[in-house]
């Protein structure tokens, strides 16, 4: 029965020549080619083992010839006065490729024995390393153009095809993109090094393309095939750049997890070659309060994807020194992410790259820093396999150019845990300790706490159990929970629920869309509502009414109002209402004056006349709210009871509760006591 042979990979003949022992130098290879020696009859007179550098050259030849075969071009060497473009993402590949082409010019670049193009007929230009200035990039491009105009055959090794200008691309007779190494390529090289009789099957699940030159050098330097396989297998195991957690360890955060599950599917399709990287959403901004797990989410994505996790922050870069040192460290980190692609680059404290239009004392310094970051973000977003995640507690502070689409495409708010998040965290961390009712009680108590707080609470519970020298019990857990989130007083919980019900119902009566979510916890409540991008007098007065509705509702149901409407600082209801009233009077042109005033001036610094006008508007709004809500006392109680029973209401549940309240047909939403139409 005839033996079935495996077809030889494109470029294998030349790869074998590169694997000849080191004493056979490149001049010998040229002599063979120029003398017409049979390329299928490799020299077997030397028995030394090739160096890792030779093996890397051979592997690069297989990668390049695979790209050449896939486009069906007759030759990589262009005619005189023309251009060949070769795209290689990694700087180490570009450097090696330039040297290799110079050395193997005749055989590598020509499809036949045509040797008219000699080494001095060819110019090779290489894209600068990451972080090069616009001047450096322009000088390289001018060198390419000059070579073409002088009638030379020019090869330009770029980082990506998308960065090549249209005129330059039109001058190219061939365009090749260097692929990642495949298991078949690596197996073929190892077979030649270790004189195997058949191609060796490599371990499954190892991403050969992600292996750096230094890792491959260890594989190629192995004394035997078994040792090489062991080195490859070791690479596939988790290392210090790959976190030990996955998305299964993340509790809550359904929006972020859904986005990452989609990304994992896209990443898998890209690795298989069925999806272009330009179609992948690969840049994210996480924003929200401290302790909500922004870093953990990024690490979990890395763990689930099986890619390297590279982390930096503004302070990590800043401590390197002045602006130049800071940008150098940031550039080195970006280069590391690109070199290790597929990889995740996590940039913490990205709000420290604040707006360049901010404090003028540091505007020059910050302009340079932000411009440097923008250049690097553009480079990262055009590099296949690199996922960029930024994290901030203050999204509004970041320079707008940083967070625009194209640099950070997807903005995801990372909130404290909802009930579902608390329940899944409890189930994962302390299974079989709490009954179903106890778990529900604990989840209700901990709604709104961050994942970090809940984790600390559970550590405290375990500490209490160790102190008692007994296994952890429900008592330990509830005692620890009481320290971070005391069980709310029933009367206070009802007050909070009615307060939030007032906000919800007033928004409904004012014609605003149903909020995404409403929740109450021990001492506060929260409503996530989409606000309009552009305001009219109707919408502005409607928002003013919504801000005051909680306080008005408390006054309707209780003998005294609480401090809840104004005791939480600048994010409080009264603070937001005052700011809105000031904007109506001074900034939007919705009052009886057209003079614009700076909205950053504190209210107490405005004139007595302005303060009186703002107070009058707030009082009129409160009266309008009371008149609107007075007929709906039972509806307010019904909504408040649902909040107390369920603690969290999603949009569908809120729509169900609010749709039962009819909006009066004769309600004129523009008829606010102090609106221009009123």
The pLDDT tens digits for 390-401 are: 999 888 888 888
Of 186, 198, 170, 194, the closest CA to residue 85 belongs to 170
Q: Are residues 404 and 259 in the same domain?
A: yes
> For position 505, which CATH number holds?
1.20.58.760
Taking the alpha carbons at both ends of the chain, their separation in whole angstroms is 98
Given a contact cutoff of 8 angstroms between Cβ atoms, the answer to whether 119 and 102 are in contact is yes
Lowest-confidence region among 222-231, 351-360, 376-385: 351-360
The pLDDT tens digits for 477-490 are: 999 988 888 887 88
Lowest-confidence region among 77-91, 95-109, 177-191, 342-356: 95-109
Q: How many CA atoms lie within 13 A of 448 on its CB side?
A: 19
Domain limits at 291? 247-413
- Split at pLDDT 50, 70, 90, the class of 107 is low
* pLDDT over threshold 90, residue 632: yes
Q: Which residue has the higher pLDDT, 502 or 276?
A: 502
- Split at pLDDT 50, 70, 90, the class of 543 is very high
- Split at pLDDT 50, 70, 90, the class of 420 is confident
* pLDDT over threshold 80, residue 403: yes
Q: Is residue 79 part of a domain?
A: no
Q: Are residues 513 and 440 in the same domain?
A: no
Q: Mean pLDDT score of the chain, rounded to an integer?
A: 80
Among the candidates 484, 510, 539, a domain finishes at 484
Q: Are residues 425 and 315 in the same domain?
A: no
Q: Which residue has the higher pLDDT, 211 or 513?
A: 513
- Split at pLDDT 50, 70, 90, the class of 629 is very high
> For position 332, which CATH number holds?
3.40.50.300
Among the candidates 366, 389, 413, a domain finishes at 413
Q: Which helix (H) or strand (E) holds 576?
A: helix 573-586
Q: Are residues 479 and 494 in the same domain?
A: no
Given a contact cutoff of 8 angstroms between Cβ atoms, the answer to whether 301 and 344 are in contact is yes
* pLDDT over threshold 60, residue 218: yes
Burial (CB count <10 Å: 0-12, 13-18, 19+), residue 405: exposed
Q: What is the pLDDT of residue 28?
A: 52
* pLDDT over threshold 60, residue 674: no
Quick one: tokens of 293? 């797990």
Q: Is residue 85 part of a domain?
A: no
Q: What is the pLDDT of residue 678?
A: 39
Q: What is the pLDDT of residue 34?
A: 41
Q: Are residues 495 and 641 in the same domain?
A: yes
Q: What is the pLDDT of residue 121?
A: 73
Given a contact cutoff of 8 angstroms between Cβ atoms, the answer to whether 631 and 561 are in contact is no
Q: Is residue 534 part of a domain?
A: yes
Q: Are residues 347 and 480 in the same domain?
A: no
- Split at pLDDT 50, 70, 90, the class of 669 is very low
Most confident of 127-131, 404-408, 582-586, 625-629: 625-629
Task: Report the Cα 167 to chain-centroid distance in Å.
Answer: 33
Summarize the confidence of residues 428-445 as an average pLDDT.
Answer: 85
Q: What is the pLDDT of residue 259?
A: 92
Q: What is the pLDDT of residue 676?
A: 43
Q: Are residues 427 and 343 in the same domain?
A: no
Q: Using a pLDDT cut of 90, give the percent of the chain over it.
A: 20
Q: What is the pLDDT of residue 240?
A: 46
Quick one: tokens of 128? 């600068």
Q: What is the pLDDT of residue 549?
A: 94
The pLDDT tens digits for 315-369 are: 888 777 777 778 888 888 888 888 778 889 999 988 887 665 655 444 556 677 7
- Split at pLDDT 50, 70, 90, the class of 7 is low
Q: Are residues 379 and 460 in the same domain?
A: no
The pLDDT tens digits for 501-516 are: 999 999 999 989 999 8
Lowest-confidence region among 104-118, 130-144, 324-338: 104-118
**Number of Cβ atoms within 10 Å of the Cβ of 424:** 15
Which residues neighbour 560 within 8 Å (Cβ) at sequence distance 6 or greater?
A: none
Cα–Cα distances in Å, from 214 out to 270, 478, 550?
Answer: 25, 52, 63
* Angle CA 486–490–494, to nearest 5: 115
At 589, is the secondary structure helix, strand, or coil? Answer: coil
Specify the number of domains making up the chain.
Answer: 3
Q: What is the pLDDT of residue 449?
A: 82
Count of all residues that appear for the chain in the document: 678
Burial (CB count <10 Å: 0-12, 13-18, 19+), residue 533: exposed
Q: Are residues 459 and 531 in the same domain?
A: no
Q: Are residues 297 and 253 in the same domain?
A: yes
- Strand locations in 106-229 (E): 122-126, 153-158, 172-177
Lowest-confidence region among 100-114, 436-450, 656-670: 100-114
Q: Are residues 561 and 436 in the same domain?
A: no
Summarize the confidence of residues 80-107 as an average pLDDT.
Answer: 80
Q: Is residue 160 part of a domain?
A: no
Q: Over the Cα atoms of the chain, what is R_g?
A: 33
Q: Which residue has the higher pLDDT, 461 or 316?
A: 461
Q: Which residue has the higher pLDDT, 446 or 600?
A: 446
- Split at pLDDT 50, 70, 90, the class of 658 is very high
Q: Using a pLDDT cut of 70, give the percent of the chain over it.
A: 82
Burial track 384-398 (b if 16+ CB lie within 10 A, e otherwise): bbbbbbbbbbebeeb
Among the candidates 382, 413, 444, a domain finishes at 413
Q: pTM, whole model, 2 decimals?
A: 0.58
Residue 605 per-residue DSSP state: G
Q: Is residue 313 part of a domain?
A: yes
* pLDDT over threshold 50, residue 537: yes
- Rounded CA gap, 31 and 673, in Å? 96
Q: Is residue 52 part of a domain?
A: no
* pLDDT over threshold 70, residue 529: yes
The pLDDT tens digits for 170-210 are: 888 888 888 878 888 888 889 888 876 555 677 665 667 66
- Rounded CA gap, 182 and 433, in Å? 49
Summarize the confidence of residues 583-592 as an average pLDDT.
Answer: 85
Quick one: tokens of 501? 């019900």
- Split at pLDDT 50, 70, 90, the class of 541 is very high
Q: Is residue 423 part of a domain?
A: yes
Given a contact cutoff of 8 angstroms between Cβ atoms, the answer to whether 49 and 193 are in contact is yes
* pLDDT over threshold 80, residue 84: yes
Q: Is residue 641 part of a domain?
A: yes
Q: Are residues 473 and 442 in the same domain?
A: yes
């Amino acid at each position: 029965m005839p033996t079935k042979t495996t077809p030889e990979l494109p470029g294998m003949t030349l790869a074998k020549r590169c694997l000849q022992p080191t004493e056979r130098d490149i001049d010998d290879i040229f002599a063979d080619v120029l003398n017409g020696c049979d390329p299928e009859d490799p020299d077997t007179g030397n028995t030394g083992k090739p160096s890792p550098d030779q093996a890397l050259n051979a592997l690069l030849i297989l990668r390049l010839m695979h790209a050449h075969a896939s486009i069906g071009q007759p030759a990589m060497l262009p005619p005189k006065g023309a251009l060949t473009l070769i795209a290689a993402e990694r700087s180490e590949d570009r450097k090696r490729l330039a040297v290799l082409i110079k050395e193997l010019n005749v055989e590598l670049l020509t499809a036949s024995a045509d040797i008219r193009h000699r080494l001095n007929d060819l110019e090779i230009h290489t894209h600068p390393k990451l972080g090069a200035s616009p001047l450096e990039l322009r000088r390289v491009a001018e060198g390419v153009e000059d070579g073409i105009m002088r009638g030379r055959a020019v090869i330009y090794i770029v980082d990506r095809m998308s960065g090549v200008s249209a005129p330059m691309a039109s001058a190219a007779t061939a365009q090749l993109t260097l692929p990642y190494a495949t298991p078949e390529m690596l197996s073929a090289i190892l077979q030649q090094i270790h004189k195997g009789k058949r191609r060796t099957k490599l371990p499954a699940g190892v991403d050969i393309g992600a292996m750096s030159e230094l890792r491959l050098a260890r594989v190629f330097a192995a004394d035997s095939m078994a040792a090489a396989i062991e080195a490859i297998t070791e690479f596939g195991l988790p290392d210090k750049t790959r976190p030990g957690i996955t998305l299964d360890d993340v509790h809550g955060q359904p929006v972020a997890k859904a986005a990452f599950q989609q990304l994992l599917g896209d990443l898998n399709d890209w690795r298989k070659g069925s999806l272009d990287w330009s179609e992948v959403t690969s840049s994210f901004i996480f924003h929200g309060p401290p302790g909500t797990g922004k870093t953990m989410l990024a690490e979990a994505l890395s763990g689930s994807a099986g890619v390297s996790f590279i982390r930096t922050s503004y302070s990590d870069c800043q401590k390197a020194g002045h602006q130049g040192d800071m940008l150098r460290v940031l550039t080195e980190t970006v280069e590391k992410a690109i070199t290790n692609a597929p990889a995740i680059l996590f940039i913490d404290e990205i709000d420290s790259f604040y707006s360049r239009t901010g404090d003028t004392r540091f505007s020059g310094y910050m302009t340079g820093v932000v411009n440097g970051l923008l250049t690097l973000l553009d480079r990262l977003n055009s590099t296949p396999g690199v996922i960029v995640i930024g994290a901030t507690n203050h999204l509004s502070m970041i320079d707008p150019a940083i967070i625009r689409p194209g640099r950070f495409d997807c903005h995801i708010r990372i909130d404290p845990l909802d009930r579902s998040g608390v329940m899944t965290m409890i189930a994962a961390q302390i299974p079989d300790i709490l009954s179903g009712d106890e778990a529900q009680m604990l989840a209700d108590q901990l709604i709104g706490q961050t994942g970090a707080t809940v984790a600390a609470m559970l550590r405290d519970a375990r500490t209490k159990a160790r102190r008692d020298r007994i296994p952890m019990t429900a008592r330990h857990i509830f005692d620890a929970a009481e320290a971070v989130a005391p069980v709310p007083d029933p009367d206070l919980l009802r007050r909070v629920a009615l307060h939030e019900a007032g906000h919800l119902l007033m928004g409904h009566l004012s014609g605003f869309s149903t909020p995404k979510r409403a929740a109450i916890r021990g001492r506060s409540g929260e409503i996530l509502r989409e606000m309009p991008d552009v305001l009219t007098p109707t919408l502005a007065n409607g928002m003013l009414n919504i801000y005051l509705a909680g306080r008005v509702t408390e006054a309707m149901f209780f003998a005294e109002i609480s401090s809840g409407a104004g005791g939480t600082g600048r994010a409080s209801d009264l603070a937001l209402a005052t700011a809105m009233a000031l904007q109506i009077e001074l900034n939007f042109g919705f009052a009886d004056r057209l003079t614009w005033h700076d909205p950053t001036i504190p209210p107490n610094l405005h004139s007595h006349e302005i303060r009186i006008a703002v107070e009058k508007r707030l009082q009129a709004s409160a009266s309008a709210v009371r008149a609107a809500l007075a007929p709906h006392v039972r509806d307010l109680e019904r909504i408040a009871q649902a909040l107390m029973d369920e603690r969290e209401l999603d949009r569908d549940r809120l729509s169900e509760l609010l749709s039962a309240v009819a909006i009066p047909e004769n309600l004129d939403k523009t008829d606010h006591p102090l609106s221009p139409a009123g």
